[in-house]
Amino acid sequence: SAELNIEEIRKDFPILDAKVYGKRLVYLDNGATSQKPVQVLETLDNYYKEYNSNVHRGVHLLSQVATEAYEAARKKVASFINAKHDHEVIFTRGTTESINLVASSFGKLALKKGDEVLISAMEHHSNIVPWQMICEDKEAVLKVIPMNTNGELLMDEFASLLTDKVKIVSVTYISNSLGTINPVKEIINQAHAKNIPVLLDVAQAIQHVPIDVQELDVDFIAFSGHKIYGPTGIGVLYGKEEWLNKMPPYQGGGDMIKTVTFAKTIYNDLPYKFEAGTPDVAGAIGLSAAIDYVNNLGLENIQQAEHELLKYAMKKLSEVDGLRFIGNAKEHASLVSFLVRDIHPFDTGDILDKQGIAVRTGHHCTQPVMDFFGIPGTVRASFAFYNTKEEVDLLAAGIEKAVMMLS
């Protein structure tokens, strides 16, 4: 692996030069969304200026060019996650829609009264609520793998929860509020030993760790383009062909059909069966450009740079008097969640904001995690490869200032 030239890389991200309140932006909210390199912005611009057209429909040239670019984006995603078939990649609006698709469609296929769906104690609301909805519909039961106070899943408990009643396990690879990296390979192996499929929410993983769906042997993964330096409005559901072929469509409309009569509709083949309506063509092409960008840097190099930042941030922030980390898992991604003394996280975030430092505060769409720790929320700084140690220093100094002002 090679060391990334961060100074050069930062030039690809125009927004990193932005000023907020007259101060240079220090963007540490990458877990919420990442910034976009010019390579992605120019791809979007070029699409709309040069060949904007609807896909899979027109006989005309631009429609063909747009269709080819859209399908090339699907191939790009498939090879990025090492899917066996391109048609196992379904474009969605994002992680949320991908999980809703599986919950609804797999739920209709496989859930009956008394069956169970197994999630974990650290799920994002988008991997809780869709399952609650389908469980309510089907009179199935939602079960939760508990965690310890470091924010690590209790794998013994997982093993005993994995009964014959469980029809699917749906867990996050990396926790967005704690930073925990879960032992997903072990989870998949144990579930598969009982023929139970597994969905991984990789919204916080796809931009940080290499993911090989065949090596993991995972049944479904869900992620959002906007967290991996691509545009908003585009996301991915990967599903094994065997499952996707069995599952009923999620939405009905154009493109997802072969023939329609008022008596009966014949559904289209994969992937179109799950892509009703005009898709986010620009988004898919933009995501493809983002994947090129990441591939060009190398995920291993990205991982190494972010690990360095994490180590530095942990050391630097642990020197702040009265700061405690929430989430102390051994396997930890490049984000830190913390509280300072008895200061409300929103107040810390507000003072940081006025210094140009963008962090996220609150429950991070994981209210059950906050309830577990008995806290109202945390301050979260989440790093990308383009962040610097100097920015971590500014964060630490900003927190010290908040402490001075508020205690």
The residues annotated with a catalytic role in the active site are 365
**Contact between 224 and ligand PMP per CB under 6 A:** yes
Among 43, 204, 337, 382, binds ligand PMP (CB under 6 A): 204
CB nearer ligand PMP, residue 202 or residue 394: 202
Instruction: Enumerate residues 6+ apart whose C-beta is below 8 A from 185.
Output: 216
Among 96, 120, 288, 337, binds ligand PMP (CB under 6 A): 96
Minimum distance, C-beta of residue 335 to ligand PMP, in the bound complex (Å): 10
**Helical ranges in 168-325 per DSSP H:** 184-193, 213-216, 241-246, 281-297, 299-318
How many Å separate Cα 125 from the centre of its chain?
12
Minimum distance, C-beta of residue 92 to ligand PMP, in the bound complex (Å): 9
CB nearer ligand PMP, residue 74 or residue 124: 124
How many Å separate Cα 206 from the centre of its chain?
7
Minimum distance, C-beta of residue 227 to ligand PMP, in the bound complex (Å): 7
CB nearer ligand PMP, residue 76 or residue 124: 124
Cα–Cα distance for residue pair 181/94, rounded to 1 Å: 21
Cα–Cα distance for residue pair 144/167, rounded to 1 Å: 14
CB nearer ligand PMP, residue 118 or residue 343: 118
Taking a C-beta distance cutoff of 8 angstroms, is the pair 141, 186 a contact?
no
Among 203, 234, 299, 402, binds ligand PMP (CB under 6 A): 203
DSSP strand E in 77-125: where?
Answer: 89-92, 116-120
Residue type at 5 in one-letter notation: N
**DSSP letter (8 states) at residue 383:** -
Q: Name residue, tokens 């809703």.
A: 100
Can the peptide bond before residue 271 be classed as cis, meaning omega within 30 degrees of 0? yes
Cα–Cα distance for residue pair 18/7, rounded to 1 Å: 16
The binding track of 299-338 with respect to ligand PMP, each residue x by CB under 6 A or -, is ----------------------------------------
Cα–Cα distance for residue pair 283/44, rounded to 1 Å: 8
CB nearer ligand PMP, residue 223 or residue 343: 223
Candidates 89-97, 137-145, 210-218, 296-304; binding stretch for ligand PMP (CB under 6 A): 89-97
Taking a C-beta distance cutoff of 8 angstroms, is the pair 102, 199 a contact?
yes
# residues contacting ligand PMP (CB under 6 A): 13
Of residues 365-394, those binding ligand PMP (CB under 6 A)? 365
Among 34, 53, 172, 348, binds ligand PMP (CB under 6 A): 172
Candidates 72-80, 88-96, 297-305, 320-328; binding stretch for ligand PMP (CB under 6 A): 88-96
CB nearer ligand PMP, residue 29 or residue 391: 29
Of residues 106-165, those binding ligand PMP (CB under 6 A)? 124, 126-127
Q: Which two tokens stand for residue 47?
A: 């699409």
Taking a C-beta distance cutoff of 8 angstroms, is the pair 254, 277 a contact?
yes
Residues that bind ligand PMP (CB under 6 A): 94-96, 124, 126-127, 172, 176, 201, 203-204, 224, 365
